[in-house]
Amino acid sequence: MVTYQASRQLDALGDPTRRAIFERIAKGPLAVVDIARTLPVSRPAVSQHLKVLKDAGLVTDTSEGTRRVYSIDQAGLAAVREYFDRFWDKALDAFRRTAEAIHAAEQGKRTTHKTCNNQRK
């Protein structure tokens, strides 16, 4: 089940422009002007996308003079990771069980093969 917070975060990251902004901020804190320079959208559009990311709990902002500098909100990112970790844990467990079953089947074939060879002698 998706929590309300995770749902908001996933919805926010569903937009390609917001995802690009988020990825740029993940490399280090940036001001709106610095983000806008690297994207084919205006500064006001970047600001609107940042508002959505901030409302979703994915970024935080601080004031540095007349500029707003945005950083990743580690708590929000942890919530997204927790959401996906549930699926990753299940996938890894399924992989482990499959690998163990294949290994057991291969061991069984080797034992059967050795038994057959011993009976021929």
pLDDT tens sequence across 96-105: 899 999 988 8
Q: Which domains does the chain have, with CATH numbers?
A: 4-75 (1.10.10.10)
**Cα–Cα dist 17/48, whole Å:** 11
What is the largest distance, in Å, between two alpha-carbon atoms of the chain? 89
**Cα–Cα dist 28/18, whole Å:** 16
3-state percent helix, strand, coil for the chain, nearest multiple of 5: 70, 10, 15
Which residues on adjacent β-strands are paired with residue 79?
Answer: none
**Chain centre distance of CA 16:** 15
pLDDT tens figures, 22-79: 999 999 999 999 999 999 999 999 999 999 999 999 999 999 999 999 999 999 998 8
Please identify which residue in the block is written with the tokens 């299940």: 90
Note the pTM of the prediction, 2 decimals: 0.72
Q: How confident is the model at residue 115 (pLDDT cuts 50, 70, 90)?
A: low
